[in-house]
Amino acid sequence: MSGNDRQRGLEGPPPEERPTPDGRRNEQGIRIDPEVEATHDPRRTVISALVKHEPGVLAEVSGLFSRRQFNIESLTVGPTTDEDRARITLVVEEPDPGIDQVKKQLRKLIPVVSVRELEPDAMRRELALVKVDAADPAQVAAVADMYDATAVDSSPETATYEVTGSRQKIEAAIETFEQFGIREVDRTGMTALARGTDETTGPTPAEASVSAVEDATQTKYTADDD
Amino acid sequence: MSERAATVSPPDERAQEEQKHDRDASTADGTPDPVTSGAQAVVRALENAGVEYAFGVQGGAIMPVYDALYDSEITHVTMAHEQGAAHAADAYGIVAGEPGVCLATSGPGATNLVTGIADADMDSDPLVALTGQVPTEFVGNDAFQETDTTGVTTPITKDNTFAADPDRVGDDVGEAFALAGEGRPGPTLVDLPKDVTNADTEAEPATPETPDTYEVQERADPEIVAEAAERIEAATRPAMLLGGGVIKGEASETCREFAIEHEIPVITTMPGLGAFPEDHELSMEMAGMHGTGYANMAITHCDTLIAVGTRFDDRLTGGIETFAPDAAVIHVDIDPAEISKNIHADYPLIGDADTVVSQLAEAVDASPEATKWRAQCQQWKSEYSMAYDVPSEQSGDEPSTSSKMPEDEPVQPEFVVEALDEATDDDAIVTTGVGQHQMWACQYWTFTEPRTWVSSHGLGTMGYGLPAAIGARLAADDDQEVVCVDGDGSFLMTMQGLSVAVRENLDITVAVLNNEYIGMVRQWQDAFFEGRHAASDYNWMPEFDKLAEAFGARGFRIDDYDEVADVIAEAVAYDGPSVIDVHIDPEANVYPMVPSGGDNGQFALTEDQL
Ligand SMILES: Cc1ncc(C[n+]2csc(CCOP(=O)(O)OP(=O)(O)O)c2C)c(N)n1
Ligand SMILES: [Mg+2]
């Protein structure tokens, strides 16, 4: 045998002669019944993170989202009553396993103190500045009234209103203002807090790691089939 | 003034060198001088952390730190390239089990470190990088040799810090050191502006500590442990999958005991090589793209997978849909974010590998009934034996020996790896470049001890091998051998490191498996690109043995089978750096192979099965 016509490779039963298992996983790595296509649909949720108030944190958080291809809808950041802490509020749209990943990856960043996904009943508010053509001031004012919008600025050609509220309300307001011709819009993205005495994000990492355990326990998407 | 820092000593002064490197002997002279500058605080923080070696290259912005290092007990190894400094420090960290330290100046020094930092990040290796930076007042002005180093390295570090305050800079470094080593290890970086290191300060750094926001869970939830234990007891086809986290978490012993007590077949990932002795009956060796056929059969057919310290990389899992599709997965990991990231964990056990496997060991009362399964595994081991095709008529059943090898046949790489393994002790350390040679090293070296396999797994960095051998050499015990199994292409990327190995007279043996190809690419071209060898042909290769001699190392060359054993013996015996240019069969390929995204159980044994 010469070096070139030797059969290159190893001996053993070829692929078609090997037994194959019955099971299968879906693209999220979850074991599924081969008959059903079980995937998790994306859902929108609000995640609040308490972070160290220092340079680079926002870049680190937004970089995490882009490099891990997390679907992020809005991100707001602002100081808190503790000058060493800032709060970041994120709206993400991901299937459940993706939401878990977002939380865990955020928690992993060293300047992130604690992370929590807010309950559906959490208070969520957004603010938008809407600058419209003021050709018909009375009509514009009537629409503004409908959405409790406050006039912030007016000029012979324009009127600018501040709208606050839920995302749906803001979107409805913008849609309605559109009839006058919107010149510019600026939206803050969603801010959110948990209701009542429920604390949005715990001030200590201990709570974060407890919730990591909770997460792990909760991460059971499949009925135990054994 | 001490002469110890930045040493350059001819090989014949090796004896004194070794004395110098013997740290225990030189700490008796009382308390150190108080810190007077930011740079001294940086060095003091390293000393407090017990750092013995640092790898780096000098330059403008880092000069104050080097000046402080000049008086330190820390031995600085001047490297030929910063990439090599990062790899050397990374390998040092792998072998020593504590963070390796590398230094570079700002701008190009820092960017040259980037590959090594990214490598450490992918492999969770403990590494501390200290980079010089232009003075704070120039930052943001595109000053000479200014690079946004923290910006560049944010996605590839566990954490990084721009040291803005001379009174804190020592603590910044201490914190970086603690963070790099604790929990899931990883690279950290402190960017040191020159004005901060030059500034006066008397702030002595505190004992290195992780920041208060950093917490690591040690013990797993006992309820899930109990459920997992039940699952293990009820398993009929159990398997353990040991990843790099087992080695980093010092859990090899506990995992071995557990597997052996309950007679559970053990598969390793590539970074997990050495976590379980591959000469043990229960060892199925490595699974994944170039894993053994039997490991891939076992992982595909098990009903319970006890996975410890692995992140289920795609080179291990192949296509997700077909990965261990019947297995309930018990996933032990210290990083919650690894749980259910790629493969859903039915039993998520967050915690330190050694602690959690001990918890499991305590909770499992009865071994699984798996006699049939074990027999099946043994059968796969013989059906899919890794015995390679020896180009000799007489090869028959007898073990191949070089005396039987025909002279005119090209040397097969597997044979060379086995010969190197035979010529060295069990605790010998193997480093590699990236490519076919690396896979042959995985497959044909019999790993039995943790921290003896030092390779670039996640990033797959060609050029890792030689600088890694330098770092590994300095971390290893004196009587441990260090062998670099390199590729011709990989060696060419960082071989300037030979100058360091010669200068420091480091006893390492580099075996370049020279196929005059960037062989792994050539193999893929043959399989997937109709044999079109676009830019994979390296037939302009230098003669590595002569190149080695030019550096002052010993150079050897192997062309034929009958030279293999003797030349290897001579090279390994040489007390200093040696390079063997091993001309192997250029057409040799790595099998088994699971193509990217393929089904592990459908691994190809030959090209036509791909
Ligand atoms: C820095 C870097 N560049 C490119 C690659 C892509 N690559 C992977 S393997 C390989 C060939 C390596 O050649 P060699 O070191 O000679 O090893 P062989 O496969 O021939 O054993 C290449 C180019 C890589 N992994 N790393
Ligand atoms: Mg090659």
Q: What is the pLDDT of residues A162-185, one digit of tens each?
A: 999 999 999 999 999 999 999 999
Q: What is the pLDDT of residue B395?
A: 45
Q: CB within 8 A of B503, min separation 6: which ones?
A: B8, B9
Is the backbone of residue B50 left (phi > 0), alpha (psi -120 to 50) or beta?
left
* Residue with CA closest to ligand 1 atom 8: B435
- The pLDDT confidence band at residue B342, using thresholds 50, 70 and 90, is very high
If asked whether residues A109 and A70 sit together in one domain, one would say yes
Does A105 reside within a domain? yes
Residue found by looking up tokens 């225990």 in the block? B24
- The pLDDT confidence band at residue B407, using thresholds 50, 70 and 90, is low
Q: What ipTM was assigned to the predicted interfaces of this complex?
A: 0.87
Alpha-carbon dihedral B524, B526, B529, B531, rounded to 10 degrees: 150
If asked whether residues A105 and A136 sit together in one domain, one would say no
If asked whether residues A105 and A153 sit together in one domain, one would say no
At B397, phi and psi to the nearest 5?
-90, -20
**Mode of pairing for the β-strands spanning A158-165 and A123-133:** antiparallel
A27–B326 CB contact, under 8 Å = no
B458-469 mean pLDDT: 98
Q: Map residue B352 onto helix, strand or coil.
A: coil
Residue found by looking up tokens 């229960």 in the block? B282
Q: How far apart are the C-alpha atoms of B334 and B247, rounded to whole Å?
A: 13
Give the residue from B150, B290, B344 with the most A CB atoms within 10 Å of its CB, the best one to mutate: B344
- Across A1-35, b (16+ Cβ under 10 Å) vs e yields eebeebebbbebeebeebeebebbbbebbbbbeee
Does position A209 have pLDDT exceeding 50, yes or no? no
What is the per-residue DSSP string for A105-144?
HHHHSTTEEEEEEPPTTSEEEEEEEEEEE-SSHHHHHHHH
What are the extents of the domains in chain B?
A: 36-198, 222-383, 413-591
Q: How far apart are the C-alpha atoms of A147 and B529, rounded to whole Å?
A: 62
B337–A221 CB contact, under 8 Å = no
Question: Within an 8 Å CB–CB cutoff, is residue B335 touching chain A?
Answer: yes
Nearest-by-Cβ selection for A7 from B224, B328, B606: B606
Model pLDDT for residues B556-587, shown as the tens digit of each residue: 999 999 999 999 999 999 999 999 999 999 99
If asked whether residues A160 and A177 sit together in one domain, one would say yes
Which amino acid does the sequence have at A199?
E
Does position B396 have pLDDT exceeding 60, yes or no? no
Tokens of B526: 């043959």
Does A28 reside within a domain? no
* Any ligand 1 atom below 6 A from CB of B400: no
Q: How far apart are the C-alpha atoms of A213 and A208, rounded to whole Å?
A: 9
Distance between start and end Cα atoms, chain A: 53
Environment class of B133 (CB within 10 Å of its CB; exposed 0-12, middle 13-18, buried 19+):
buried
| Ligand 2 (single-atom ion) residues, CB below 5 Å | B 487-489, 515, 517, 519
If asked whether residues A57 and A112 sit together in one domain, one would say yes
Question: Within an 8 Å CB–CB cutoff, is residue B214 touching chain A?
Answer: yes
User: Beta-carbon neighbour count of residue B291 at 10 Å?
Assistant: 29
If asked whether residues A137 and A94 sit together in one domain, one would say no
**A118, A150, A170 — which closes off a domain?**
A118
| Residues linked to residue B513 through DSSP beta bridges, in sequence order | B487, B582
- Which of A148-162, B13-27, B365-379, B434-448 is least confident? B13-27
Contact between A174 and A130 (Cβ < 8 Å): yes
If asked whether residues A82 and A131 sit together in one domain, one would say no
Does position A206 have pLDDT exceeding 60, yes or no? no
Does position B528 have pLDDT exceeding 60, yes or no? yes
Ligand 1 center to residue B589 CA distance, Å? 14
User: Beta-carbon neighbour count of residue B376 at 10 Å?
Assistant: 18
Peptide bond into B592 cis (omega under 30): yes
Q: How far apart are the C-alpha atoms of B6 and B57, rounded to whole Å?
A: 10
Q: How far apart are the C-alpha atoms of A159 and A155, rounded to whole Å?
A: 6
Tokens of B5: 């820092």
Does A54 reside within a domain? yes
Does A177 reside within a domain? yes
**A68, A83, A118 — which closes off a domain?**
A118
**A118, A150, A175 — which closes off a domain?**
A118
Q: What is the pLDDT of residue B540?
A: 82
Catalytic annotation on B412? no
* Any ligand 1 atom below 6 A from CB of B460: yes
Residue found by looking up tokens 């930052």 in the block? B139
At B502, phi and psi to the nearest 5?
-70, -50
Catalytic annotation on B248? no
Domain B36-198: CATH superfamily, name plus number: Thiamin diphosphate (ThDP)-binding fold, Pyr/PP domains (3.40.50.970)
B496-508 mean pLDDT: 98
How many independent structural domains does chain A possess? 2
Model pLDDT for residues B57-99, shown as the tens digit of each residue: 999 999 999 999 999 999 999 999 999 999 999 999 999 999 9
Catalytic annotation on B495? no
Does position B494 have pLDDT exceeding 60, yes or no? yes
Percentage with pLDDT > 90 across chain B: 90
Helix, strand, coil content of chain A in percent (nearest 5):
30, 30, 40
Topology match between the domains B36-198 and B413-591: yes
Does A171 reside within a domain? yes
Q: CB within 8 A of B523, min separation 6: which ones?
A: B436, B589, B590
Q: How far apart are the C-alpha atoms of A32 and A21, rounded to whole Å?
A: 13
Question: Within an 8 Å CB–CB cutoff, is residue A36 touching chain B?
Answer: no
B322–A110 CB contact, under 8 Å = no
| Extended beta strands in B121-164, E state | 127-133, 159-162
B392-398 mean pLDDT: 47
DSSP state of B365: -
Report the chain B residue with the minimal C-alpha distance to residue A20. Answer: B601
Q: What is the pLDDT of residue B295?
A: 98
Give the nearest ligand 1 atom to B438 CA: 21
If asked whether residues A109 and A179 sit together in one domain, one would say no
What is the per-residue DSSP string for B9-60?
--GGGHHHHHHHH-GGGG--S-SPPPP-BHHHHHHHHHHHTT--EEEE---G
Going from the C-alpha of A205 to that of each of A86, A112, A116, B175, the distances in angstroms are 15, 9, 12, 17
B442-464 mean pLDDT: 98
- The pLDDT confidence band at residue B482, using thresholds 50, 70 and 90, is very high
Question: Within an 8 Å CB–CB cutoff, is residue B293 touching chain A?
Answer: yes
CATH of the domain at A112: 3.30.70.260
Does A226 reside within a domain? no
**Mode of pairing for the β-strands spanning B347-350 and B328-333:** parallel
Q: What is the pLDDT of residue A32?
A: 85
CATH of the domain at A156: 3.30.70.1150
If asked whether residues A44 and A114 sit together in one domain, one would say yes
Give the nearest ligand 1 atom to B513 CA: 21
A8–B588 CB contact, under 8 Å = yes
If asked whether residues A91 and A131 sit together in one domain, one would say no
Tokens of B168: 């804190």
- The pLDDT confidence band at residue B261, using thresholds 50, 70 and 90, is very high
If asked whether residues A148 and A101 sit together in one domain, one would say no
Q: What is the pLDDT of residue A31?
A: 92
Calculate the CA B457 to chain-centre distance. Answer: 7
Architecture of the structural domain at B222-383: 3-Layer(aba) Sandwich (3.40)
Nearest-by-Cβ selection for B224 from A52, A205, A217: A217
If asked whether residues A44 and A82 sit together in one domain, one would say yes
Report the chain B residue with the minimal C-alpha distance to residue A224. Answer: B346
Is the backbone of residue B192 left (phi > 0), alpha (psi -120 to 50) or beta?
beta
Active-site residue, from B158, B194, B248, B381: B194
B512-519 mean pLDDT: 96
Which amino acid does the sequence have at B124?
S
Mean per-residue pLDDT of chain B = 93
Exposure on the CB side of residue B489, measured as CA atoms within 13 A = 21
Percentage with pLDDT > 70 across chain A: 84
Contact between B299 and B267 (Cβ < 8 Å): yes
Going from the C-alpha of A93 to that of each of A90, A121, B266, B430, B513, the distances in angstroms are 10, 17, 39, 45, 49
Q: CB within 8 A of A218, min separation 6: which ones?
A: none
Active-site residue, from B73, B82, B418, B563: B82
Q: Map residue B377 onto helix, strand or coil.
A: helix
- The pLDDT confidence band at residue B470, using thresholds 50, 70 and 90, is very high
* Residue with CA closest to ligand 1 atom 11: B518
DSSP state of B454: E
**Mode of pairing for the β-strands spanning A182-187 and A150-154:** unpaired
Catalytic annotation on B145? yes
Architecture of the structural domain at B413-591: 3-Layer(aba) Sandwich (3.40)
Instruction: Measure in Å the smallest separation between the Cα of B444 and chain A Cα atoms.
Output: 13
Q: State the count of interchain CB pairs (< 8 A) between A and B.
A: 183
* Any ligand 1 atom below 6 A from CB of B435: yes
* Any ligand 1 atom below 6 A from CB of B488: yes
Q: Which domain holds residue A94?
A: 39-118
Environment class of B394 (CB within 10 Å of its CB; exposed 0-12, middle 13-18, buried 19+):
exposed
B609–A205 CB contact, under 8 Å = no
